[in-house]
Structure formats: structure tokens, C-alpha cells
């Protein structure tokens, strides 16, 4: 049927109206959907606007996410720090293990290891054990203590087990080396005054080198360090200390060759106080014509220190050469009789089979060992730990005899 022009126009108007209705329904649907699920752009906007109610929820979600991420980062950093600390402890143990290798293989520990490599301990072996201990560089006093701990602290059944005896030696050694004392922080309790350390020792023990290494360590920790060249009777000692002062970027006070050591140290302490120094380390004479003269000179130095700054020296350390064995124990006795020795530094442990002397000195002196020297570099001056040292001394599966036998 033919369509007139008016009918065509009416049809087109109806189609257009229908299209507008459909379009409106779709737009309404989209608006409803947007209310139920905000768009990404809405999230970004609400996070910048604190006045919108939805903003608080979104910010909270982001804050929670950031907190979780920060916690994760902190946890990772903590794990990394613990890993570094464990790695540092492992490196420390490895270095000490290597340094005491001669003592384990050639010294008294190696000889003990050979004894304990037997499957059973009998009376004959105990007699050999006594001989090894009393002929070692640990000294008779320490040997008697170790032997007594074994005989009195272990049952007959225990004595038949080499591992049990070996453990007893280790435990008793740790007890010998553990001397109760306060940690040395190199801080003077009196504000504005320096911490004064007096260093003693015979020539050749490594006294001046120890002072230089310690100065470098303290300088690296941010302390202002002054050195007193108090060994004026030996020109080489002053020159050596000057070299170390330059390396450590520390100030040095020196006098003329042969000048009274006490006067040099007095001037250094006064300069340390006036110059705002944190630490003053004083070198001292290591040899005079007789032991009596040396000890009298050191006593004088101690009195002068107290005049320069009441209450100092705050610490007095004795440096001993471990390669001299029982001679080091004898030196320690002489120095302690004259001075109030508060700490021991043992040097050259990396080049000797007489590392057991550490036990003898500690048992004889009852003074804490502060540092040990295991090499030529600054970092080779190491804080002393009884547990770490004993672990290295009696290393190799608790029976180092196998190692000794392979040498």
C-alpha cells in the first residue's frame, strides 16, 4: 500500500522518539553502574580530596597498602642487617681460625688433639695429658687449673669419652678468659675532658703500632684523637708514632730526644683538654737500664697524669708479644706489680704456635684482654671475645688432632 508524505513524516518522528528513549535508558544504566563501582579516575580524585566521604575509605586503603609495603621493606632491611651481622661474625671467626692455625697444629692444642684422637682415655693418657699441659706455654698455674677441672669435674665414665674431656677443656678455657669488667667506650664521664689511655710494654712488643692502629679505629668512629710520644728514650719510637699519627689524621705531641717522658705526657693531656680532644693515648718508655728504673719511671708517669687531669689515666693497658710465650707472662707480672693495669693487648698471634699464652696471661693477671693483634693492617687489631677465641683455639670438630697429624 502506497505511503503518503504525511504518513512517512509521522513514522520517522516515532522512530526518533524510540531511539531517544533507548539512549536515555542506557545513560541511566551507566550512571547506576558508576555509583556501584567508582572508576579509576574517581579513586585518584578522591585521594586528593579530603572532603569527600569516599576519599577517607580510599586513602585508608592506600595508607594500609603503604604501611604493608613499609613493613615489608623494614622486614627486608632487618633481615639484611642480620645477614650482614652473621656474615661479619663468620668472617671474624674465619680470620681468627687462620691466625691460630700454628697453635692448633704445632702448639699445645695440636699435641692435645693427638692424645684425644684415641678412642678411649686411660691412665697412661692422663699422664701424657698432664705432661703436655705442664710443658705448654700456658704456664703451670693454668695447666694445673685445666688438669684439675678434668680430674675433679668429670666422672670415670666421662673420662672415657674424649669428646667430653675436650668440651671440658673448652669450657674451662672460656671461664679463664672471661674477666668481669666494664666495657671501655673511650668516653670521659666528665664532660669537656678527654679520656686518657696509658699504654705500657717493652720495646718490640708492638706497643707503638698498637697505639697507631687504635688511634685510626677511634678516628674512624668520629673521635678527636691526640697521641703523646712519651717513649722519648727511643727516637725511632717517636718517629714511628708520627707516621701513625699522619695515617690516622691524629694530632701528636712530642718532646726532644731524651726529654722527661712525664713532661711530654703532661703537656699532651693539658693540650687534650684545652683543644677539646675526645681521647689522649700516651706511649711510654719500653726499656731503661734496669727493670727497677723502668718501673719507677712508669710510676712517675702515672702520678703526673693525675696532676694534669685528676682521675686519669682512665685505663692503663699492657701490650704483650704472644710469640715470647711464658716470657710474656713474666713481663705481665712485673708490670702489674708496678702499675694498675686494667687491660691487656696481645700482639702477633698470627705468627706463633704459642697462642695458648693467652690463657696463661689471663689466669695470672686476672685482667681483661681488650684487643688481639692478628696481622699488620689497622683492621687486624681485633676486640677480644673469649668465646670466639676458644672456638678458634680448639677448632676442627672439637678434636684438632687430625689437623695436627696432617702437618
Percent of the chain at pLDDT > 70 equals 73
Q: Could you please report the per-residue DSSP string of 169-198? A: HHHHHHHHH-----------SSTTS-EEEE
d(CA 362, CA 341): 12
d(CA 242, CA 228): 10
The better pLDDT of the pair 314, 354 is held by 314
Res 78 pLDDT > 70: no
Question: What contacts 41, CB < 8 A, 6 or more positions away?
Answer: none
User: 344 falls in which pLDDT band (50, 70, 90)?
Assistant: very high
What average pLDDT does range 294-312 have in this prediction?
94
Per-residue pLDDT tens over the stretch 234-278: 878 899 999 999 999 999 999 887 789 999 999 999 999 999 999
Per-residue pLDDT tens over the stretch 196-224: 999 999 988 999 999 999 999 999 999 99
Per-residue pLDDT tens over the stretch 61-73: 444 444 444 454 4
Res 360 pLDDT > 60: yes
The 8 Å CB, 24+ separation contacts for 138-145 are: 138/108, 138/356, 138/357, 138/359, 138/360, 138/363, 139/326, 139/329, 139/357, 139/359, 139/360, 139/363, 139/364, 141/360, 141/363, 141/364, 142/176, 142/359, 142/360, 142/363, 142/364, 145/172, 145/176, 145/363
User: 387 falls in which pLDDT band (50, 70, 90)?
Assistant: very high
User: 355 falls in which pLDDT band (50, 70, 90)?
Assistant: confident
pLDDT of residue 38: 36
Phi-psi region of 162 (alpha: psi -120 to 50; beta: other; left: phi over 0): alpha
pLDDT of residue 270: 97
Per-residue pLDDT tens over the stretch 140-194: 999 999 999 998 998 888 888 888 888 999 999 999 999 998 899 999 989 999 9
The 8 Å CB, 24+ separation contacts for 151-160 are: 151/126, 159/121, 159/126, 160/120, 160/121
| Buried b or exposed e, range 95-109, using 16+ CB within 10 angstroms | bbbebbbbbbbebbb
How many other CB atoms are there within 10 angstroms of residue 386's CB atom? 18
Q: Are 216 and 262 in contact (CB under 8 A)?
A: no
Taking the mean position of all CA atoms in its chain, how far away is CA 157?
A: 40
d(CA 103, CA 215): 29
pLDDT of residue 26: 52
Pairing of the two strands 225-228 and 315-321: unpaired
Residue 7's H or E segment, with its range, is helix 5-36
Res 139 pLDDT > 70: yes
pLDDT of residue 77: 46
Strand, coil or helix: what is 51? coil
Q: Are 196 and 309 in contact (CB under 8 A)?
A: yes
Per-residue pLDDT tens over the stretch 109-125: 888 888 777 656 677 77
Residue 62's H or E segment, with its range, is helix 53-99
Strand order in the sheet with 225-228: 251-253, 225-228, 279-282, 195-200, 315-321, 343-347, 369-373, 381-383
Closest CA to 209 of 281, 267, 301, 103: 281
User: 89 falls in which pLDDT band (50, 70, 90)?
Assistant: low
pLDDT of residue 9: 55
Q: Are 246 and 284 in contact (CB under 8 A)?
A: no
Res 95 pLDDT > 70: yes
Residue 368 burial (10 A CB sphere; 0-12, 13-18, 19+): buried
pLDDT of residue 259: 87
pLDDT of residue 29: 46
Per-residue pLDDT tens over the stretch 4-55: 555 555 555 555 555 554 455 455 444 444 433 333 333 332 223 333 343 3
Res 330 pLDDT > 60: yes
Percent of the chain at pLDDT > 90 equals 46
Q: Are 347 and 331 in contact (CB under 8 A)?
A: no
Amino acid at each position: 500500500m502506497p505511503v503518503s508524505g504525511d504518513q512517512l513524516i509521522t513514522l520517522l518522528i516515532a522512530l526518533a522518539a524510540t531511539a531517544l528513549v533507548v539512549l536515555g535508558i542506557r545513560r541511566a544504566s551507566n550512571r547506576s553502574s558508576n555509583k556501584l563501582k567508582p572508576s579509576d579516575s574517581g579513586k585518584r580524585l578522591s585521594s586528593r580530596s579530603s572532603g569527600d566521604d569516599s576519599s577517607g575509605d580510599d586513602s585508608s586503603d592506600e595508607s594500609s597498602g603503604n604501611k604493608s609495603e613499609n613493613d615489608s621493606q623494614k622486614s627486608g632491611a632487618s633481615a639484611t642487617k642480620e645477614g650482614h651481622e652473621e656474615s661479619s661474625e663468620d668472617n671474624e671467626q674465619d680470620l681468627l681460625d687462620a691466625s691460630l692455625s700454628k697453635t692448633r697444629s704445632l702448639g699445645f692444642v695440636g699435641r692435645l688433639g693427638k692424645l684425644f684422637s684415641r678412642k678411649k682415655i686411660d691412665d697412661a693418657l692422663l699422664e701424657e695429658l698432664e705432661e703436655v699441659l705442664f710443658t705448654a706455654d700456658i704456664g703451670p698455674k693454668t695447666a694445673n687449673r685445666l688438669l684439675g677441672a678434668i680430674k675433679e669435674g668429670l666422672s670415670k665414665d666421662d673420662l672415657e669419652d674424649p669428646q667430653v674431656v675436650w668440651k671440658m677443656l673448652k669450657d674451662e678455657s672460656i671461664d679463664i678468659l672471661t674477666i668481669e669488667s666494664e666495657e671501655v667506650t673511650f668516653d670521659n664521664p666528665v664532660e669537656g675532658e678527654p679520656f686518657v689511655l696509658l699504654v705500657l710494654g717493652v720495646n718490640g712488643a708492638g706497643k707503638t703500632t698498637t697505639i697507631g692502629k687504635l688511634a685510626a679505629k677511634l678516628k674512624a668512629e668520629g673521635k678527636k684523637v691526640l697521641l703523646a710520644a712519651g717513649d722519648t728514650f727511643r727516637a725511632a719510637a717517636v718517629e714511628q708514632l708520627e707516621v701513625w699519627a699522619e695515617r690516622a689524621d691524629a694530632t701528636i705531641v712530642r718532646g726532644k730526644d731524651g726529654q722527661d717522658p712525664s713532661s711530654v705526657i703532661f703537656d699532651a693531656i693539658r693540650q687534650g683538654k684545652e683543644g677539646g680532644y675526645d681521647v689522649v693515648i700516651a706511649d711510654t718508655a719500653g726499656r731503661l737500664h734496669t727493670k727497677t728504673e723502668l718501673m719507677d719511671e712508669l710510676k712517675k708517669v702515672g702520678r703526673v697524669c693525675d696532676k694534669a687531669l685528676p682521675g686519669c689515666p682512665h685505663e692503663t693497658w699492657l701490650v704483650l708479644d704472644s710469640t715470647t710465650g711464658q716470657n710474656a707472662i713474666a713481663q705481665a707480672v712485673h708490670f702489674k706489680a708496678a702499675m694498675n693495669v686494667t687491660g691487656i693487648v696481645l700482639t702477633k698471634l698470627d705468627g706463633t704456635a704459642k697462642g695458648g699464652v693467652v690463657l696463661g696471661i689471663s689466669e695470672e693477671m686476672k685482667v681483661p684482654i681488650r684487643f688481639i693483634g692478628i696481622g699488620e693492617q689497622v683492621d687486624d687489631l681485633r676486640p677480644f671475645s673469649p668465646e670466639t677465641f676458644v672456638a678458634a683455639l680448639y677448632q676442627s670438630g672439637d678434636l684438632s688432632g687430625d689437623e695436627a697429624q696432617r702437618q
